[in-house]
Chain A
Amino acid sequence: MEAYRTEIIAACVGIYFVLCIVVGIWAMRKTHSSKDFFMAGRDLGILVTSIAIFSSAMSGFGFVGGPGLVYRMGISSLWIVISTTIGYAICFFLLGGKLREWAVKRDSISLPDVIMARYDSPLAGILTAFSIVLGVLGYLATQIAAMATVLQSLAAGLTDMGEVPLVYCALFSTTLLVFYCVTGGIIASVYTDLVQGVIMMVAAVMVFLTAIWVVDGGLRGITETLIKDDPASMSPWGSKGMLGCLSWYFVFALGVSGQPQVITKLMMTRRAEDARWTLPATIIGYVITAMLWIALGLAMRALVVSGAHPELANADHAAPAFLQGLTHPILAGVVFAGLFAAIMSTADAFLNIGAAALVHDIPMALRGTPLRDELRYARLATVLLGAFAMMAALNLGEMVALLGAFGWGTFAAALVPTVAIGLNWPRATAPAACTAILSSLAVNFSLKAFDIALPLSIDAGAAALLVSIVLFVTVSLLTPDRSGGKSEPTPDKNDSAIEPTLN
């Protein structure tokens, strides 16, 4: 079986690709309107919603970047992992019921829709849509670049013709992704997320067991080896340091409530009370998947430190090296499929949110009414966004990495005050929302673009979030409340006018 390792991995990945296509075709038959395309007809159950939420948050970064960080820094990046329990608790406390309530009562089909209605401010809506489009392009391009790179390394072992050009791999990955997103919109996205989430969980458990099996003494053996090498790397702060790790904890915990790919799912549930059990189900899914992040990274660090494995050329090779050298071919196949699943589950969510921003939110803010044939434009925008992100991935190089890194912190700093706090605090005002979004873009982009490092490895996104919260609360307290303090939605007077044009 070992002789056919590459073929077995390719077969597992191929089966997964076929599943995505099948789900896309199935979802196309259920997509009749733009509300179906962007909001899944607000008909998602607990299991589908919870898996869609955690799998959109756990991108390819969780499967490749996460173990790489543990390999490089020791325990530091576990602060990102452990922030999830409090992060999702805050997210559901503040938005679990609220976002759905707004979505239903105002017939909102996107986050900027809700912002526009909450603050009675088209400018706040446009700024939200703009920051979403910027973040989406960056995230999407990095996900496409990651998919193309993994596919290229996989294809290299299958053909005697040498390396397959990256552009073909990017074209194939983007076509597959765009296909099921265009045909089935968010319905295809969330149901592929279901498949993807299950694959990710199975892969994570199997890798966890393998990782503690390959090192003598299991997790304790790994810990003892690493403490002997450098006790500080196994302390809670690893090599990043105390305040740097705590800044990660802060931005990842509070930042979940500002990630559009996560919180828009809360607008799609069938019943309001589904939020009750969606929260624990989401956390269970994330915790299971995160086992791969922890165990694989620590195992590879211990193996290399003890001399049982040659040094890696790059920290991000920790996961591929472990899978290629230390696992059964079928497990490697499942995990490679899980890796594609992790990347695609995030990418499809962004594709849908980006399309909503382009064909719904911006026209709504500028014209006050949606486009006439919104569903057709939504499909067209999905294709264009996919193509644009692919070209960016292939041509923009460092700019893509910049936009990708820009994503989480920007969404957190722009949307946590505006959405999570604003929907729960009647005194929050439109100028405060606009200030928070603009400060988030300015702080995050200048820190990244001019390569400004903060002291003590403080995360740039954490600093931007703190600045944005301070500005949001201060400006709200200093400006008059012209919207009448709408933290509770009232039915939209124009609902009846909007409803027919949605289809």
Chain B
Amino acid sequence: MIDAPRLLLLFSSLLLLLIVVAACLYDTAWDSSQRHPRVATMEVGGPRSSEDAQHWWLGLGFGVVTILTLVTSLLFAAREGEQARSLRRAVIAGGFVYIAVFVGMMMSYRRYMTEEPTTLGPFAAPTTWMVLGLWTVPLLFVAIYCIHFRDWFEADPPTLAEGDRD
């Protein structure tokens, strides 16, 4: 049995804890972004980006817990009985794909920062994972919503029809 409120509490607390851990680990935690050497109105990665590459595992953890928090929020839509079980199964399956894409992006990011920066399609390789992967993978949940709308989401249709008279 999944207890969405307690999971949400757990993941939100974990995110707060990870922020504190990161603030202690980074030397540049309180530094502001670095200005571009030639163009004053632009910024560059600077020392923070080197530390990000070094502590990439922290980003992996923070990102995975963020996704778990977002997926847990979707689980609040599960009401009771068969509807809840089916919706939970579908959302959790979608959550695994979501996390897998994020892990793929982080692996690609690690290679990008430690080896020669490469492109994949129109962007830098990890950014392509982000834009074409992370942006589109939640469409799985959109598909779940559209396909199973009548079974899992529509609220009490007869009463609503009555209410529609106004």
Contact A236 to B117, CB < 8 A, known contacts A279-B142, A280-B142:
no
Task: List residues of chain B with CB within 8 A of the CB of A366.
Answer: none
Contact A476 to B5, CB < 8 A, known contacts A223-B119, A227-B117:
yes
Comparing A193-201, A247-255, A346-354, A377-385, the segment that makes contact with chain B is: A247-255
Task: List residues of chain A with CB within 8 A of the CB of B123.
Answer: 75, 219, 223, 234
CA distance A463 to B46 in the complex (A): 25
| Any B CB within 8 A of the CB of A455 | yes
Task: List residues of chain B with CB within 8 A of the CB of A218.
Answer: 122
Contact A242 to B142, CB < 8 A, known contacts A249-B66, A305-B39, A427-B5:
no
Task: List residues of chain B with CB within 8 A of the CB of A231.
Answer: 45, 112-113, 117, 124
- Please determine whether A456 and B127 come into contact, CB atoms closer than 8 angstroms: no
CA distance A230 to B49 in the complex (A): 11
Task: List residues of chain A with CB within 8 A of the CB of B13.
Answer: 470
Task: List residues of chain B with CB within 8 A of the CB of A237.
Answer: 45, 49, 52, 59
Task: List residues of chain A with CB within 8 A of the CB of B131.
Answer: 78, 82
Q: Which residue of A lies closest to B63 (CB)?
A: A246
- Please determine whether A272 and B52 come into contact, CB atoms closer than 8 angstroms: no
- Please determine whether A421 and B164 come into contact, CB atoms closer than 8 angstroms: no
- Please determine whether A236 and B164 come into contact, CB atoms closer than 8 angstroms: no
- Please determine whether B62 and A246 come into contact, CB atoms closer than 8 angstroms: yes
- Tell me the minimal C-beta distance from B7 to chain A in angstroms: 10
**B 55-88 to A, binary, CB cutoff 8 A, 1 in contact else 0:** 1101100110010011001101100000000000
Interface size in chain B (residues, C-beta < 8 A):
82
- Please determine whether B19 and A455 come into contact, CB atoms closer than 8 angstroms: yes
Tell me which of B15, B16, B39 has the highest count of chain A C-beta atoms within 10 A of its own C-beta: B15
Task: List residues of chain A with CB within 8 A of the CB of B99.
Answer: none
| Any B CB within 8 A of the CB of A233 | yes
Contact A275 to B153, CB < 8 A, known contacts A223-B123, A280-B142, A470-B16:
yes
Identify which of A74, A272, A456 contacts B155 (C-beta below 8 A): A272
- Please determine whether B146 and A239 come into contact, CB atoms closer than 8 angstroms: no
Task: List residues of chain A with CB within 8 A of the CB of B153.
Answer: 93, 96-97, 275-276
Q: Which residue of A lies closest to B130 (CB)?
A: A236
| Any A CB within 8 A of the CB of B96 | no
- Tell me the minimal C-beta distance from B49 to chain A in angstroms: 4
CA distance A276 to B142 in the complex (A): 9
- Please determine whether A271 and B164 come into contact, CB atoms closer than 8 angstroms: yes
Q: Which residue of B lies closest to A222 (CB)?
A: B122
- Please determine whether A456 and B22 come into contact, CB atoms closer than 8 angstroms: yes
Contact A90 to B119, CB < 8 A, known contacts A233-B45, A235-B126, A246-B62:
no
- Tell me the minimal C-beta distance from A319 to chain B in angstroms: 14
Q: Which residue of A lies closest to B136 (CB)?
A: A85
Number of A-B contacts (CB under 8 A): 258
Task: List residues of chain A with CB within 8 A of the CB of B41.
Answer: 71-72, 311-315
Q: Which residue of A lies closest to B116 (CB)?
A: A231
Tell me which of A42, A73, A89 has the highest count of chain B C-beta atoms within 10 A of its own C-beta: A89
CA distance A273 to B152 in the complex (A): 12
Interface size in chain A (residues, C-beta < 8 A):
93
Q: Which residue of A lies closest to B49 (CB)?
A: A232
**B 147-164 to A, binary, CB cutoff 8 A, 1 in contact else 0:** 001100111110110011
Identify which of B40, B69, B129 contacts A250 (C-beta below 8 A): B69
Using a CB-CB cutoff of 8 Å, which residues 270-291 of chain A contact chain B?
270-273, 275-277, 279-280, 283
- Please determine whether B46 and A239 come into contact, CB atoms closer than 8 angstroms: yes
- Please determine whether B58 and A243 come into contact, CB atoms closer than 8 angstroms: yes
- Please determine whether A455 and B160 come into contact, CB atoms closer than 8 angstroms: no
- Please determine whether A469 and B9 come into contact, CB atoms closer than 8 angstroms: yes
- Please determine whether B5 and A279 come into contact, CB atoms closer than 8 angstroms: no
- Please determine whether A234 and B33 come into contact, CB atoms closer than 8 angstroms: no
- Please determine whether B159 and A232 come into contact, CB atoms closer than 8 angstroms: no
Tell me which of A82, A241, A311, A453 has the highest count of chain B C-beta atoms within 10 A of its own C-beta: A241
CA distance A398 to B50 in the complex (A): 34
| Any B CB within 8 A of the CB of A466 | yes
- Tell me the minimal C-beta distance from A224 to chain B in angstroms: 7
- Tell me the minimal C-beta distance from A429 to chain B in angstroms: 12
Task: List residues of chain B with CB within 8 A of the CB of A454.
Answer: 19
- Please determine whether A104 and B166 come into contact, CB atoms closer than 8 angstroms: yes
Task: List residues of chain A with CB within 8 A of the CB of B74.
Answer: 89-90, 93-94
- Tell me the minimal C-beta distance from A255 to chain B in angstroms: 11
CA distance A220 to B127 in the complex (A): 12
CA distance A470 to B69 in the complex (A): 12
Task: List residues of chain B with CB within 8 A of the CB of A203.
Answer: none
- Please determine whether B163 and A85 come into contact, CB atoms closer than 8 angstroms: no
- Please determine whether A250 and B15 come into contact, CB atoms closer than 8 angstroms: yes
Contact A425 to B119, CB < 8 A, known contacts A238-B45, A272-B160, A455-B22:
no
Task: List residues of chain A with CB within 8 A of the CB of B69.
Answer: 250, 254
Task: List residues of chain B with CB within 8 A of the CB of A467.
Answer: 16
CA distance A239 to B142 in the complex (A): 31
CA distance A230 to B163 in the complex (A): 59
- Please determine whether A421 and B76 come into contact, CB atoms closer than 8 angstroms: yes
Task: List residues of chain B with CB within 8 A of the CB of A488.
Answer: 156
| Any B CB within 8 A of the CB of A424 | yes
Identify which of B5, B59, B145, B156 contacts A101 (C-beta below 8 A): B156
| Any A CB within 8 A of the CB of B44 | yes
- Please determine whether B130 and A78 come into contact, CB atoms closer than 8 angstroms: yes
CA distance A223 to B125 in the complex (A): 10
**A 96-108 to B, binary, CB cutoff 8 A, 1 in contact else 0:** 1110110011010
Q: Which residue of B lies closest to A96 (CB)?
A: B153
Sorted nearest first, the 7 A-B pairs with minimum C-beta distance are: A232-B45, A104-B163, A232-B49, A239-B43, A455-B23, A86-B138, A219-B122
A-B contact pairs, 20 of them (CB 8 A): A74-B45, A85-B136, A86-B138, A86-B141, A88-B142, A90-B74, A93-B77, A231-B45, A235-B45, A236-B109, A243-B58, A243-B62, A273-B149, A279-B145, A313-B41, A421-B8, A425-B76, A456-B48, A463-B19, A469-B9
Q: Given A272-B160, A456-B29, 18 other A-B contacts at CB below 8 A?
A: A75-B127, A88-B142, A89-B142, A93-B73, A94-B74, A96-B145, A223-B122, A235-B126, A236-B105, A239-B45, A239-B49, A247-B19, A272-B155, A279-B142, A301-B42, A315-B41, A421-B73, A499-B166
